[in-house]
């Protein structure tokens, strides 16, 4: 599970660029809520290492529909509801993250949850996205239930977000290390300090490609590979959720979603053939309704560069935060995936001059 004793990379001196919000999380967006249900039980053939994560753009009592857009960098994955996002320019309801074979039950649960809360729509097209956790989890045991999805939705809240082996990220792997849920944020300078928040469910990459702040970490730590029959480990997926309170139109949000690919690339991803790299961006700045008309406000395209930069930076850091938060896990058939070793990682960062405290004159003791 997420371990509060596993320090984050910023607290260990890694010099990520940009100004974060107070939580360095997607919940730095006012009103946005995140909830997890984590399922860890049994060993051997029936090992359960999975869960559900819910992201509610404006909370359980806020705006029901927000402007949104999505982008697929590589489409060996699933995110339901995207055809209607393309058509309408809006995201209605929460965003749910789970494992590949639980998309259906979670989707149906969102419909039932919304009906119970009095959603007025006669129909619903929920957004549920997945990554594959079948190396560690008995994915064909269908252990995620409607009640688990309800739990993630009902317990969603603002404040700090648990990261690593939690929720939908419980059984996920990044470049042969334990991965999972990660989050980060950026606050922009200016008269109105807009915020960009990112949450990832990370389950992608090959060890030799893993990069942190430009350091070829996967080449520095080639061991501690998953204990598995095949050692390729190249395929996988990542779901990236980008949220902002900046007033943007759907076509501008699609531009924002595309920039998440640049943050992903900074960590060494090449979007392998078998990877589902699917990104969603939304704005919590909803239009005003007056006399049957929607009154939209939007930033001019020429002012979007700071938002693009913030998205790239927050995406990169969210992925690295997932790696630093996750713990070693043993799951299905006794397979083990090791956590990123903090001490060796920091020594590699020092070697390449990427430690924030390097200028203090002597190598720190790890």
**Catalytic one among 175, 269, 277, 283?**
277
Question: What is the token pair recorded at 205?
Answer: 């990459």
E-strand ranges in the chain read 33-41, 48-56, 65-75, 90-92, 95-99, 127-131, 173-174, 177-178, 180-187, 195-203, 237-244, 276-283, 288-290, 293-295, 329-330, 336-337
Helix/strand/coil for 235: coil
Largest Cα separation within the chain, whole Å, is 67
Which residue, 49, 58, 102, is CA-closest to 80?
A: 102
Candidates 102, 175, 275, 283; catalytic one: 275
CA distance from start to end of the chain: 23
| Active-site pick, 102, 237, 269, 283 | 237
**β-pair type (177-178, 173-174):** antiparallel
269 is catalytic: no
Other CB atoms within 10 Å distance of the CB of residue 62 = 15
- 277 flagged as catalytic: yes
Q: How far apart are CA 239 and CA 243, in angstroms?
A: 13
Annotated active-site residue 245? The verdict is no
Catalytic residue positions, numbered: 237, 275, 277
């Amino acid at each position: 599970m997420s371990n509060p004793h596993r320090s984050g990379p910023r607290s260990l001196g890694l010099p990520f660029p940009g100004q974060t919000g107070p939580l360095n999380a997607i919940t730095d967006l006012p009103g946005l809520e995140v909830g997890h249900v984590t399922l860890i039980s049994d060993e051997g053939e029936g090992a359960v290492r999975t869960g559900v994560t819910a992201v509610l753009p404006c909370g359980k009592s806020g705006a029901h529909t927000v402007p949104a857009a999505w982008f697929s960098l590589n489409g060996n994955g699933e995110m339901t509801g995207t055809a209607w996002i393309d058509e309408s320019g809006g995201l209605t309801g929460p965003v749910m993250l789970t494992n590949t074979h639980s998309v259906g039950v979670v989707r149906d649960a969102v419909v039932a949850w919304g009906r119970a809360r009095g959603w007025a729509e006669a129909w619903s097209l929920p957004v549920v996205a997945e990554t594959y956790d079948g190396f560690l989890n008995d994915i064909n045991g269908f252990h995620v239930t409607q009640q688990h999805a309800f739990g993630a939705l009902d317990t969603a809240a603002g404040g700090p977000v648990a990261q690593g082996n939690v929720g939908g990220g419980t059984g996920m792997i990044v470049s042969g290390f334990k991965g999972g849920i990660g989050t980060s944020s950026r606050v922009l300078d200016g008269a109105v300090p807009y915020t960009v928040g990112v949450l990832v469910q990370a389950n992608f990459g090959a060890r030799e490609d893993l990069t942190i702040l430009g350091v070829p970490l996967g080449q520095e730590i080639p061991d501690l590979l998953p204990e598995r029959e095949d050692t390729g480990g190249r395929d996988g997926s990542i779901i990236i959720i980008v949220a902002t309170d900046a007033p943007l139109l759907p076509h501008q949000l699609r531009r924002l979603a595309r920039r998440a690919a640049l943050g992903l690339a900074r960590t060494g991803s090449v979007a392998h053939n078998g990877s589902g790299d699917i990104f969603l961006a939304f704005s919590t700045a909803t239009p005003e309704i007056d006399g049957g008309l929607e009154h939209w406000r939007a930033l001019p395209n020429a002012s979007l560069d700071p938002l693009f930069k913030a998205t790239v930076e927050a995406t990169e850091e969210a992925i690295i935060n997932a790696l630093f938060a996750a713990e070693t896990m043993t799951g299905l058939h006794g397979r083990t995936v090791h956590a990123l070793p903090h001490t060796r990682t920091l020594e590699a960062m020092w070697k390449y001059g990427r430690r924030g405290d390097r200028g203090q004159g002597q190598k720190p003791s790890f």
